[in-house]
Chains A and B, each alone.
Chain A
Amino acid sequence: MPRMNEKLRYWMLVLPALAVMIFFYIWPVLNIWGISVTEPATGLGNYTKMFDSNAVRVSFMLTFRIAAITTVVCLLLGYILAYTISNFATKARPLMLGLVLLPFWVSVLIRSFAWIVLLGRSGLVNDALMDTGLIATPIRFMHNETGVLIAMVHVMLPFAVLPMLTNMRGIPGSYMKAARGLGASEWRAFRDVYFPQTLPGVFSGGLLVFVLSLGFYITPALLGGGRVMMISEYITYQIQEFLNWGLGAALSVALLVATAIILFVAGRFVNLRKTFLERN
């Protein structure tokens, strides 16, 4: 059978999905660039407006700060979980895994709703604290950055745990045992032998959490009290309230470029293929 013909057949399998993706997804997303330089007038007006705007700058900084804090907290908590699941928990392992994955399947919207119920001024947490007499006036957990961070960590934690678990699964326990056998304390063995080997998983989980956090909309919109306006909410606000598609599009392009730069830079330290393409 001629080789070329064979290849063509395989491409016939690839093509339908690829064509649909390019035509209905990639093309419209690239077109946002077009909107940003044509609405309301042709030119770079939206970009000068964007760079001149202090509000945009604040919103971008806020977005990066929240994404960074979310990432760090998720990595810390996620590491503890991943380490326990892969090294200590033998009997409890399936249960723990199930519990990590459980929130994964519950929609972000419902989880945000649950946080609203819990964290409100007359929410369950405040009620409980007041009833037990621990506090006299309600604490503000919600309608501020704290609320957004709590809910975002909750959403992103499984995304941090899974890559680390995959990575730790590949680390043989014998290294640690050897180090211990040579007289290292458990802590030293962990720090000097085990931890460095888990770094690829940590980076991979961190990148995933960070990139996904940059685009968050639902959680900050519902728990931020309007003042924690991350860039996605800023875009939506410009478009829904003021029909300001040009500026919304310019902001979108900026967010996309920022994401691309992060991926490009991270590509030097993180195995992007393992992080995104070969995720389990």
Chain B
Amino acid sequence: MPRSPLRIFFATGSWAILAFLVLPILVVIPVSLTDTAFIGLPKEHLSLQHFDTFLHSPEWLQATWTSIWIGIIVAAASTALGTAFCIGCWFLSDRAATIARWVMIVPILVPPVVQSLGFYKFWVTLGLIDTHFGVILAHTLLALPYVTISVFAALTNLDRRIPQAARNLGAPLILAIRTVILPSIRPGMITGAIFAFIVSFDEIVGVLFLTVRRVETLPKMIWEGIQESVDPVIAAVATILVILTLLVTAAAVARSYAATKPHPS
């Protein structure tokens, strides 16, 4: 292929933009290895002291663990609710179902501060302020849109006649769902669950409004850490999360290369 100016412009531009997207995130890695007590690049040697601080801090570990188990419950709850919802809507496929689907994605459109304000007032009435359950409930609601979008996307690829055939043969609805529908939309459910976990694991504004002292999540610790003192421990935490993300992304990219290889392109 001839290299036209247009192509060169787009290609170099793209790599520059990708560098803008990725490199700033990687900056937390060298900073986390600093041997100083403040934020900066390592001065004399590399040091793991800030990772050590993180791994020996009951507060940080507790908050990390809280974020993980809340995220898992949120993923499970929102995937279960969201999948049932989508299957119902898919069968119905009428105007009411479409409206219901719009209702489910409202949390994407409402600004985080606004919805947190609404949560706060209602959670006070329900006695859910500063409780783990209160956070789980709020996060489940925020995760539901992502679950419904990805599960419904999986359902649209499903042939409507297959479950119908099963039903016509006399299979009860539950059985048809379990044996025919669920196996074929599993990828969508998994994507939804991962989204739900991430939404909960990263969520900060709601937590700031809904918790005071009893519930500490990882984002809240990071937020307070940035406000309190820009401490390299945050860089260590960030590095751990960024490296995890890098590994997962690398695995995904490698997989899609492996998947495309057999096809001559």
Identify the A interface with B (CB < 8 A): 7, 9-18, 20-22, 24-32, 35, 77, 80-81, 83-85, 87-90, 94-103, 105-118, 122, 124, 127, 154, 157-158, 186-187, 190, 211, 214-215, 217-218, 222, 232, 235-236, 239, 245, 248-249, 252, 255-256, 259, 263, 276-280
Among A85, A94, A102, max chain B CB count under 10 A is at A102
Residues on B lying within 8 angstroms of A by beta carbon are 4, 6-7, 10-11, 13-14, 17-18, 20-22, 24-25, 27-28, 31, 39-41, 81-82, 84-85, 87-89, 91-92, 97, 100-115, 117-119, 121-122, 137, 140-141, 144, 148-150, 152-153, 156, 173, 198, 201-202, 204-205, 219, 222-223, 226, 230, 234-235, 238, 241-242, 245-246, 248-250, 252-253, 256-257, 260, 265
Q: List 17 A-B contacts (CB under 8 A).
A: A14-B97, A17-B84, A20-B144, A27-B122, A29-B118, A80-B14, A97-B253, A108-B202, A117-B28, A190-B6, A215-B110, A236-B113, A252-B111, A255-B111, A256-B110, A276-B105, A276-B109
User: Do A32 and B7 touch (CB < 8 A)?
Assistant: no
Beyond A102-B21, A110-B238, A157-B21, whether A88 also contacts B141 by CB under 8 A is no
Inter-chain contact A21/B144, CB cutoff 8 Å: yes
Once A94-B257, A276-B105 are accepted as A-B contacts, the answer to whether A232 and B117 lie under 8 Å apart by CB is no
| Assembly CA distance A277 to B146 (angstroms) | 10
In this complex, the member of B22, B40, B117 whose beta carbon has the largest number of chain A beta carbons within 10 angstroms is B117
**Cross-interface CB contact of A12 among B14, B88, B205, cutoff 8 Å:** B88
A110 to chain B, nearest CB (A): 5
Do A88 and B238 touch (CB < 8 A)? no
B114 engages A13 (CB within 8 Å): no
Instruction: Report A34 CB to chain B, min CB distance, Å.
Output: 9
Chain B binding site: helix, strand, loop or mixed by DSSP?
A: helix
Q: Please judge, given known A-B contacts A17-B144, A26-B106, whether A96 and B18 are in contact too, CB under 8 Å.
A: yes
* Contact (Cβ within 8 A) A98 B89: no
Q: With A17-B85, A29-B115 given, can you name 17 additional A-B contacts, CB distance below 8 Å?
A: A14-B89, A18-B103, A24-B137, A25-B141, A84-B10, A85-B14, A89-B14, A94-B253, A102-B245, A105-B198, A105-B245, A109-B204, A110-B238, A112-B226, A117-B235, A217-B205, A239-B117
B121 in contact with A28 (CB, 8 Å): yes
Is the beta-carbon distance between B149 and A278 smaller than 8 angstroms?
A: yes
Residues of B within 8 A of A186 (CB): 4, 6-7
